[in-house]
Structure 1
Amino acid sequence: MKALRCFCFSVCALLLLEESSGFRDLRRPENVSVDSLNTRYVLRWDWPHETAANQTVTFTAQYLREFRSRKASNEKYWTSVCVSVLEHRCDFTGAIHYKISFLLRVWANTSQQSSGWVQISFCPDEHAALGPPSSLKLSSIKGDLEIIITDPLSSTNQSMKTLLNDRLSYLIQYWRRSAEPQKAKFLETKNNLVILTELDRQTWYCVRVQSRDGSHNKSSIFSDTPCTRTEGQMPYWQIFLYFLISLLLCFLLVLLNFCFYKMFTLLKNTFCPAIQLPDHIQELWLSDSEKPQLLAPESPESVCELLVMVSAELDAVAVDEHSNAEEQDSSTHSRHCSGDSGVYSTEEDTGHRSDLQMSSRKHREELHDGTLLELCA
């Protein structure tokens, strides 16, 4: 009975002390949780309450090994990580061990007031999220796919396999790139080097990997998705298809060249004909002083000009006739030179020459008329 009275007296004194110091006046932080990945742990909380304008609210976060919390005087074992910080977070990375359970707590305080502690239990091995593989390499070897998986890394860049031992495994998901990921195939393994066999040749495949902890049923998000094509001999139907496509492309190329050649020839014959005008007409056409003009069809005489042509053959005939006449005259003159006077010889020679000139002139006029008619026609 005496002990009970002492306990009640102590509780009442403590309550009076808390009331006098304003310990219960400040609201506590809310939504306290741990944002964790592998061995990175960040304690987060919310504090949406209002305070006086001249007061600044700060926060203090501590941790304690859970087995020490059973002791009565455990207050001295609490270790502060963040003291009077303004942020609503505290990084516990490196302060707590992966396979040990801890108690984490946080409170809010000002220069005049303080709130109560908000405490949660946290065990990284059980509660921390597991990350995907840190890297994934995919390569094709003789028609198969070789997958090299790098373990998830801790905050000190060590493999998580050193902490999880044989519990770390990988779920491999692979599928054709043309198909949907829902139709993918799965393979679970603990090895970091995996070879996928029985794949189609000359086909693109995509792969992604997920980390798993079987003891606590933890799974990571999937890694990035690299894709590569398998090697090997191409199927016959694909070879035949490529052959048909190449023939079609060659035919289209030849047809295009033929059409281009025909069009080029047509344009060339239209704008640059093969038959050229005579040089004197081109000079007349290009002359600035005189431009060619079309003549009216009503004046055909203006189209034709008098063209006199003298044939070299006609001149040769005339010369031959003249030479023959001179020979005849000379022979005649030689026969009659003894009895005839020079007057008769001269008259006959003159008359013969006159007849020869008349016949030559007539022949030239006939040739001139025929040529003129041909030119006018």
Structure 2
Amino acid sequence: MKLRGSEVCVSLLVCVSLALADWSRPQNLSVQSLNTQYVLRWDWDDDQQSAINGTLTFTAQCLSAANSRKAPQKQIWRTVCADVLERRCDFTDAGLSYWGIYLLRVRANTAQQFSNWTSITFCPDKEADLGPPSSVKLTSVKGNLEIAIADPLRSTNESMKTLVQDMQYLIQYWKWPKGYQKAEVLKTQNNVVMLSELNQWTWYCVRVQSRYDFYNKTSVFSDTHCTRTEGLTPYWQICLYFLLSLGLCFLLALLMWFSFYKVFKSLKSVFYPNVHLPPHIQELWLSDSETPHLLPPRCSGSVWNQLDISTETNTFPDVQISIPEDQDTSVPSRHGSGDSGFNSTEEDSSVRLLSSTRHDTHTDTHTDTHTDHRCKTDTQHREEMHDGTLEICS
């Protein structure tokens, strides 16, 4: 039975070895690295895809170089990618030290069988590429150019100078529109650099490269940034700016004055309309007398015997009616009991009017002498009056 068991074991080992021999291993292993980002890539023969039963996947593992010296049964490989369909594996978060040395290996497998391992040695400090500055800012300061350089960043957004302390920057700057083939070069470890002795009012372009001379690492150049230097302002520009500002102030003042004038004129037309008095009223208003009179002074003891009404002024003075002496002042007789109220009222008003007329007539007899004298004095004033006035003295 022992013989038979040994024969069975040998036959199984032969079958496994034959199965592995039929499979090709992953080939062309390489690590694409930038700062602290590491990605393992490989190739595999696609001609064997038709001979595979099931889904083809890949498994990638890593081991430090110090543990690789141990016996195979004591080596502890850490699986980073298990049964992935892609032909790549990201080792960024695998905890690889930047100064360490590691073994990376990969194999192809299915649910029933797998291929042999293919391994590669990787040292990040020596083999990982160095990235360009994360940002470059260019500022013109008093005729000089100030360059602010931000360090390349790790996968944890920390500065790469924590790992590469001897990192330097190579600065190229040139006049625009000339190309970088005629650029001047400046090497520095500082993050802020001031470029002096430049031409005033001239455009300059700048780009920066990261360098690590110990392993002769150089990054690609950053984006090109251009700006113009400053300088003293020419006198003709000062005069031009002064004239332009003076013209703008004058136009603004003129516009404000015109707006104020328009508003004032509108308000004046609303509250003080431009309406003229009739000509004959203006003549009376502008007469030689200090106090204007629209009506002539009344002659005492005179009788109103003439009334002129002017249709131009549309004014109607109070009219007094005088009854001559020879008018019949007899009281009208009553014609009936129904007209008693009306007739009595007419009788009373007629009697009062008659009495007033007789009194005025009696008074005029004694004042004729004085009236003639005053009327002679007012004759010149009456001649100057316009049509539409009342002749008072007779």
- Per the shorter chain, which TM-score range? 0.5 to 0.7
For residue 112 of structure 1, what is the aligned residue in structure 2?
112
Higher helix share: 1
Does the CA contact (< 8 Å) of 2:98 and 2:123 recur in 1? yes
The 5 Å alignment of 1:137-216 reads 137-165=137-165, 167-216=166-215
Measured at CA, do residues 217 and 45 of structure 1 come closer, stay the same or move farther in structure 2, by a change above 3 Å?
same
Provide Cα deviations, 1:18-75, integer angstroms capped at 9, x if missing partner: 5336222211111110011000000011113323364211100000001211112366
SS of the aligned residue for 1:161 comes to helix
Amino acid at match of 1:108: A
For residue 278 of structure 2, what is the aligned residue in structure 1?
none
Q: Distance in 2 between matches of 1:220 and 1:153?
A: 13
Deviates more, 1:127-136 or 1:15-24: 15-24
Measured at CA, do residues 79 and 113 of structure 1 come closer, stay the same or move farther in structure 2, by a change above 3 Å?
same
Return 5+ residue gaps in structure 2 as ranges.
1-8, 241-394
For residue 22 of structure 2, what is the aligned residue in structure 1?
25
For residue 103 of structure 2, what is the aligned residue in structure 1?
103
Q: Distance in 2 between matches of 1:14 and 1:217?
A: 53
Provide Cα deviations, 1:123-174, integer angstroms capped at 9, x if missing partner: 1110000000000000000000000000000000000000112x11100000
Measured at CA, do residues 18 and 79 of structure 1 come closer, stay the same or move farther in structure 2, by a change above 3 Å?
farther
Deviates more, 1:120-129 or 1:42-51: 42-51
Deviation at 1:111, TM superposition (A): 2.0
Does the CA contact (< 8 Å) of 2:24 and 2:45 recur in 1? no
Does the CA contact (< 8 Å) of 1:68 and 1:74 recur in 2? no
Q: Distance in 2 between matches of 1:74 and 1:150?
A: 47
Q: Distance in 2 between matches of 1:75 and 1:177?
A: 64
Measured at CA, do residues 73 and 231 of structure 1 come closer, stay the same or move farther in structure 2, by a change above 3 Å?
same
Does the CA contact (< 8 Å) of 1:99 and 1:123 recur in 2? yes
SS of the aligned residue for 1:59 comes to strand
Measured at CA, do residues 17 and 231 of structure 1 come closer, stay the same or move farther in structure 2, by a change above 3 Å?
same
The 5 Å alignment of 1:217-366 reads 217-233=216-232
Measured at CA, do residues 215 and 53 of structure 1 come closer, stay the same or move farther in structure 2, by a change above 3 Å?
closer
Provide Cα deviations, 1:254-280, integer angstroms capped at 9, x if missing partner: xxxxxxxxxxxxxxxxxxxxxxxxxxx
Q: Distance in 2 between matches of 1:74 and 1:120?
A: 20
Measured at CA, do residues 19 and 145 of structure 1 come closer, stay the same or move farther in structure 2, by a change above 3 Å?
same
Moved >6 Å (runs of 4+): 13-16
Q: Distance in 1 between matches of 2:11 and 2:177?
A: 71
For residue 125 of structure 2, what is the aligned residue in structure 1?
125
Measured at CA, do residues 235 and 172 of structure 1 come closer, stay the same or move farther in structure 2, by a change above 3 Å?
farther
Q: CA RMSD in A?
A: 2.4
For residue 44 of structure 1, what is the aligned residue in structure 2?
41
Does the CA contact (< 8 Å) of 1:170 and 1:188 recur in 2? yes
For residue 340 of structure 2, what is the aligned residue in structure 1?
none
Q: Distance in 1 between matches of 2:230 and 2:11?
A: 79
Return 5+ residue gaps in structure 1 as ranges.
1-12, 244-377
Q: Distance in 2 between matches of 1:235 and 1:75?
A: 80
Does the CA contact (< 8 Å) of 2:209 and 2:219 recur in 1? yes
Q: Distance in 1 between matches of 2:10 and 2:80?
A: 27
Does the CA contact (< 8 Å) of 1:26 and 1:109 recur in 2? no
SS of the aligned residue for 2:21 comes to coil
Does the CA contact (< 8 Å) of 2:67 and 2:75 recur in 1? no
Does the CA contact (< 8 Å) of 1:56 and 1:111 recur in 2? yes
SS of the aligned residue for 1:43 comes to strand
For residue 66 of structure 1, what is the aligned residue in structure 2?
65
Deviates more, 1:54-63 or 1:186-195: 54-63
Measured at CA, do residues 235 and 14 of structure 1 come closer, stay the same or move farther in structure 2, by a change above 3 Å?
farther
Question: Does residue 34 of the first structure (1) align with residue 37 of the second (2)?
Answer: no
Does the CA contact (< 8 Å) of 1:202 and 1:234 recur in 2? no
Q: Distance in 2 between matches of 1:15 and 1:145?
A: 78
Measured at CA, do residues 42 and 159 of structure 1 come closer, stay the same or move farther in structure 2, by a change above 3 Å?
same
Q: Distance in 2 between matches of 1:83 and 1:125?
A: 27
Q: TM-score, with normalisation over the residues of structure 1?
A: 0.57
Does the CA contact (< 8 Å) of 2:40 and 2:89 recur in 1? yes
Amino acid at match of 2:32: D
Q: Distance in 2 between matches of 1:124 and 1:94?
A: 14
Provide Cα deviations, 1:340-368, integer angstroms capped at 9, x if missing partner: xxxxxxxxxxxxxxxxxxxxxxxxxxxxx
Q: TM-score, with normalisation over the residues of structure 2?
A: 0.54
Measured at CA, do residues 18 and 94 of structure 1 come closer, stay the same or move farther in structure 2, by a change above 3 Å?
farther
Question: Does residue 85 of the first structure (1) align with residue 84 of the second (2)?
Answer: yes
